[in-house]
A = this chain, B = another copy of it.
Amino acid sequence: MATKPSSQPSQLERAKKALSEHHHRVTKSRLAVARALIAHNSLWITPEEIHQQIQNQELVACDLTSVYRTLTLFERLGLVARSEFYGEAARYGWRSERPDDSCEHAHFFKCKNCQEVEPLSQCLFADLAKSLAKRGFTNLEHRFEVTGLCPNCR
């Protein structure tokens, strides 16, 4: 799974900026979590996996508890998106674009057999959101998840 080293510095800078702008401290743990997420690019990983990766690849120690706390914070800052399949740990993905793009997050396909996760290009929500907004619903959030068997596993 190749990472895109060239995109990492700017993404990490974005994280630092978001933290300081919102008066949160730029700590080693938080940067380590950010790095782990950015390295996984568009994939969705669990807090546990993030924790593992930090332990393996970094000299920094970062408790699992801090991973959770950092992810919660990052989500508030719009840096990550969260999604969850039934009965499993939540998964987080780095959001490389603007935080207000609410359609970039929880749309993906996951194979029941090989666990492969594949992002879905489309966001089906836009139209429905409009019609709900028209009827007076506000603060809308949505989740859309698809499972099944991928071509390799069927």
- Interchain nearest-CB distance for A6 vs B (Å): 30
Interchain CB contact under 8 A, A109 and B125:
no
Residues of B within 8 A of A127 (CB): 124
Decide if A100 is an interface residue (CB 8 Å cutoff). no
Would you call the interface of chain A mostly helix, strand, loop, or mixed?
Answer: mixed
Q: Interface readout for A113-151 with B: 1 if CB under 8 Å, 0 if not?
A: 000000010101101100010011111111111111111
**Bound CA span A125–B146, Å:** 9
- Interchain nearest-CB distance for A56 vs B (Å): 28
**Bound CA span A86–B144, Å:** 13
Known interface pairs A143-B144, A144-B144. Does A149 touch B128 (Cβ–Cβ under 8 Å)? no
Q: Size band of the A side of the interface?
A: 20 to 34
Interchain CB contact under 8 A, A154 and B140:
no
Add 19 more A-B contacts to A137-B151, A137-B154 (CB < 8 A).
A84-B86, A86-B90, A109-B132, A124-B125, A128-B146, A132-B146, A132-B148, A136-B151, A136-B154, A137-B148, A137-B150, A138-B149, A140-B147, A141-B147, A141-B148, A142-B146, A143-B143, A143-B146, A144-B145
